[in-house]
Amino acid sequence: MGAFVAEVPLRWSDMDAFGHVNHARTITLLEEARAELLFTEAERRGLLGMAEGMVVARVVIDYHSPLNYRSGTLQVQMSVRELKAASFVLDYTAHADEVVATAETLMVPYDLRAGRPRRLSTDEREFLDEWYVEVPEPELGRA
Protein backbone atom coordinates (compact mmCIF):
# COMPACT_ATOMS: atom_id res chain seq x y z
CA MET A 1 0.00 0.00 0.00
CA GLY A 2 2.85 2.39 0.76
CA ALA A 3 3.41 4.93 3.46
CA PHE A 4 0.93 5.94 6.14
CA VAL A 5 0.89 9.72 6.46
CA ALA A 6 0.17 11.53 9.72
CA GLU A 7 -0.13 15.28 10.19
CA VAL A 8 1.18 16.10 13.67
CA PRO A 9 0.50 19.59 15.06
CA LEU A 10 3.48 21.65 16.15
CA ARG A 11 3.07 23.34 19.52
CA TRP A 12 4.68 26.48 20.86
CA SER A 13 6.01 24.40 23.76
CA ASP A 14 8.01 22.27 21.25
CA MET A 15 10.24 25.26 20.51
CA ASP A 16 13.64 25.72 22.13
CA ALA A 17 15.57 28.92 22.88
CA PHE A 18 16.84 29.07 19.28
CA GLY A 19 13.37 29.19 17.72
CA HIS A 20 13.26 25.66 16.39
CA VAL A 21 11.73 22.45 17.62
CA ASN A 22 13.92 20.83 20.27
CA HIS A 23 15.55 17.57 19.15
CA ALA A 24 13.89 15.56 21.93
CA ARG A 25 10.49 17.03 21.03
CA THR A 26 11.00 15.79 17.47
CA ILE A 27 11.06 12.25 18.85
CA THR A 28 7.81 13.02 20.68
CA LEU A 29 6.25 14.25 17.42
CA LEU A 30 7.27 10.96 15.76
CA GLU A 31 5.72 9.11 18.71
CA GLU A 32 2.44 10.95 18.13
CA ALA A 33 2.53 9.99 14.45
CA ARG A 34 3.25 6.36 15.39
CA ALA A 35 0.29 6.36 17.80
CA GLU A 36 -1.96 7.58 15.00
CA LEU A 37 -0.97 4.54 12.93
CA LEU A 38 -0.62 1.78 15.54
CA PHE A 39 -3.41 2.86 17.88
CA THR A 40 -5.91 5.12 16.12
CA GLU A 41 -5.87 3.57 12.63
CA ALA A 42 -5.55 0.03 14.01
CA GLU A 43 -8.47 0.60 16.41
CA ARG A 44 -10.55 2.09 13.58
CA ARG A 45 -10.09 -1.26 11.85
CA GLY A 46 -11.00 -3.26 14.95
CA LEU A 47 -7.48 -4.12 16.16
CA LEU A 48 -7.18 -3.34 19.86
CA GLY A 49 -4.13 -5.41 20.81
CA MET A 50 -1.52 -2.90 19.70
CA ALA A 51 -2.88 -0.23 22.03
CA GLU A 52 -2.78 -2.73 24.88
CA GLY A 53 0.96 -3.31 24.65
CA MET A 54 3.64 -2.14 22.25
CA VAL A 55 7.13 -1.00 23.25
CA VAL A 56 9.98 0.75 21.49
CA ALA A 57 13.07 -1.44 21.70
CA ARG A 58 15.32 0.92 19.73
CA VAL A 59 15.10 4.36 18.17
CA VAL A 60 17.50 5.92 15.68
CA ILE A 61 17.01 9.43 14.32
CA ASP A 62 18.92 11.53 11.82
CA TYR A 63 18.28 15.27 11.80
CA HIS A 64 18.65 16.77 8.31
CA SER A 65 17.80 20.40 8.97
CA PRO A 66 16.39 22.49 11.82
CA LEU A 67 12.64 22.33 12.20
CA ASN A 68 11.79 25.97 12.70
CA TYR A 69 8.74 26.50 14.84
CA ARG A 70 5.65 27.72 13.00
CA SER A 71 1.98 27.12 13.47
CA GLY A 72 0.88 24.17 11.45
CA THR A 73 1.78 20.52 11.22
CA LEU A 74 4.70 18.23 10.66
CA GLN A 75 3.95 15.63 7.99
CA VAL A 76 5.29 12.22 8.96
CA GLN A 77 5.36 9.36 6.45
CA MET A 78 5.73 5.90 7.98
CA SER A 79 6.31 2.48 6.51
CA VAL A 80 6.99 -0.97 7.95
CA ARG A 81 10.20 -2.91 7.37
CA GLU A 82 11.56 -6.16 8.80
CA LEU A 83 8.15 -7.54 9.75
CA LYS A 84 8.90 -10.57 11.93
CA ALA A 85 6.89 -12.82 14.24
CA ALA A 86 7.49 -10.70 17.34
CA SER A 87 8.89 -7.38 16.09
CA PHE A 88 8.93 -4.91 13.23
CA VAL A 89 10.73 -1.75 12.22
CA LEU A 90 8.89 1.49 11.48
CA ASP A 91 10.65 3.95 9.17
CA TYR A 92 9.78 7.65 9.35
CA THR A 93 10.36 10.62 7.08
CA ALA A 94 9.36 13.94 8.67
CA HIS A 95 8.63 16.87 6.36
CA ALA A 96 8.02 20.54 7.00
CA ASP A 97 9.01 22.54 3.91
CA GLU A 98 11.75 19.95 3.40
CA VAL A 99 12.81 16.68 5.00
CA VAL A 100 13.83 17.60 8.54
CA ALA A 101 14.41 14.12 9.97
CA THR A 102 14.41 10.44 9.16
CA ALA A 103 14.13 7.80 11.84
CA GLU A 104 13.42 4.19 12.63
CA THR A 105 12.03 2.41 15.65
CA LEU A 106 12.22 -1.27 16.44
CA MET A 107 8.77 -2.11 17.83
CA VAL A 108 7.97 -5.13 19.99
CA PRO A 109 4.44 -6.22 20.92
CA TYR A 110 4.26 -6.61 24.68
CA ASP A 111 1.97 -8.48 27.05
CA LEU A 112 1.62 -6.07 29.98
CA ARG A 113 -0.03 -8.64 32.28
CA ALA A 114 2.66 -11.26 31.73
CA GLY A 115 5.43 -8.64 31.64
CA ARG A 116 7.07 -10.00 28.51
CA PRO A 117 7.16 -9.65 24.73
CA ARG A 118 4.53 -11.48 22.69
CA ARG A 119 4.03 -12.49 19.08
CA LEU A 120 2.05 -10.39 16.62
CA SER A 121 -1.42 -11.76 15.94
CA THR A 122 -2.36 -12.71 12.39
CA ASP A 123 -4.63 -9.64 12.18
CA GLU A 124 -1.84 -7.36 13.41
CA ARG A 125 0.58 -8.80 10.85
CA GLU A 126 -1.94 -8.29 8.06
CA PHE A 127 -2.50 -4.68 9.18
CA LEU A 128 1.24 -3.96 9.32
CA ASP A 129 1.78 -5.68 5.99
CA GLU A 130 -0.38 -2.97 4.37
CA TRP A 131 2.35 -0.46 5.19
CA TYR A 132 5.26 -2.78 4.36
CA VAL A 133 7.89 -1.43 1.99
CA GLU A 134 10.68 -3.73 0.90
CA VAL A 135 14.06 -2.04 1.16
CA PRO A 136 16.54 -3.34 -1.42
CA GLU A 137 19.82 -4.74 -0.16
CA PRO A 138 22.73 -2.37 -0.89
CA GLU A 139 24.87 -3.45 -3.78
CA LEU A 140 28.40 -4.34 -2.85
CA GLY A 141 31.09 -2.46 -4.74
CA ARG A 142 33.56 -4.38 -6.81
CA ALA A 143 37.22 -4.31 -5.85
**Cβ(4)–Cβ(78) below 8 Å:** yes
pLDDT at 83: 94
Please give the share of the chain, as a percent, with pLDDT higher than 90. 63
**Does 139 map to a domain?**
no
pLDDT band at 100 (very low <50, low <70, confident <90, very high): very high
**Does 141 map to a domain?**
no
**Does 138 map to a domain?**
no
Number of domains within the chain: 1
**Cβ(23)–Cβ(59) below 8 Å:** no
* Structural domain range at position 65: 4-129
| CATH code, 93 | 3.10.129.10
**Does 44 map to a domain?**
yes
pLDDT at 70: 72
**Does 111 map to a domain?**
yes
**Does 134 map to a domain?**
no
pLDDT at 108: 97
**Does 137 map to a domain?**
no
**Does 140 map to a domain?**
no
